[in-house]
Amino acid sequence: MSTDDSDKPTSSQIERLNERNYRSWSTQVRALLRHQRVLDVVDGTSPKPILTPAAAEPTKDEIEAHKGLIDAWEIKAARACATLLPTISGRLMTYVEEEDDPAKIWKILLDRFRPTSDVTLAQALKHIVILRMADDGDMEAHIRDFTAGKRRVEEHRVALTDIVYRTFLLLSMPTTYQMTVRQLSPKQG
């Protein structure tokens, strides 16, 4: 196994969370947290240990064992926060700046940026309808943006037909692609 750390993923390689990239951000951050073996404290499967003595008064051994569990959890939680927080854009940090439990941070971000309300559905639909590629734009990046917008609509369990998505995509093309758009458009008659 290599001892070179240059091939290890880092939080600096992840696009920071913003109002529109929760899905891709969370996928990348989960992979990084899993790689660092701290995902369990973030997704809540390993909550902070609670002292639950069998007797009314915990014994000295129970207290010491609990302290060891707390210390181990705190180390993992600190590593998780050190990984998670740098992947959040500064303007969104206000939502989690008072929190130090990585599971609570994760839940706050999930609830805030991946909600499925009528408002977020309207925003997702608006995004895909008004999406336009610049005349000198990158087609590959545009297709990625369109696909991400389509996924955001589908997250709301809205099923638009393929012809609707194709129409939105064709309408999003710049004038320099008019010949291609005409060839791809459904024929009338």
Both 155 and 67 in one domain: the answer is: no
User: Helix (H, G, I), strand (E, B), or coil: what is residue 101?
Assistant: coil
Are 55 and 24 in a shared domain? yes
CA distance 21 to 167: 24
pLDDT digits (tens, 9 = 90+) for 19-68: 878 888 999 999 999 999 999 999 999 999 887 766 568 888 888 988 99
User: Do 39 and 84 fall into the same domain?
Assistant: yes
Q: Do 28 and 95 share a domain, yes or no?
A: yes
Question: Within a domain: residue 189?
Answer: no
What number is the average pLDDT over the span 58-87?
Answer: 92
HSE toward the beta carbon, residue 2, CA cutoff 13 A: 5
**Would you say how long the chain is, in residues?**
189
- 105 belongs to a structural domain: yes
Separation of alpha carbons 153 and 103, rounded Å = 27
pLDDT at 136 over 70: yes
CA 155 to chain centre: 13
Q: What is the pLDDT of residue 21?
A: 84
**Do residue 95 and residue 22 come from a single domain?**
yes
CA distance 181 to 186: 10
- pLDDT (0 to 100) of residue 177: 77
Q: What is the DSSP letter of 117?
A: S
Same domain for 107 and 170?
A: no
- Is 131 a member of any domain? yes
Residue 42: per-residue pLDDT = 96
User: Residue 42, Cβ neighbours under 10 Å: how many?
Assistant: 26
Is pTM beyond 0.85? Reply is no
* Same-domain status, 32 and 107: yes
Half-sphere exposure of 94 (CA within 13 A, CB side): 2
pLDDT above 70 covers what percent of the chain? Answer: 87
Domain of residue 175: give its range: 118-184
Last residue of a domain, one of 113, 147, 165: 113
Residue 76 shares a structural domain with residue 141: no
Distance, in Å, from the CA atom of 102 to the CA atom of 84, rounded to the nearest integer, reads: 8
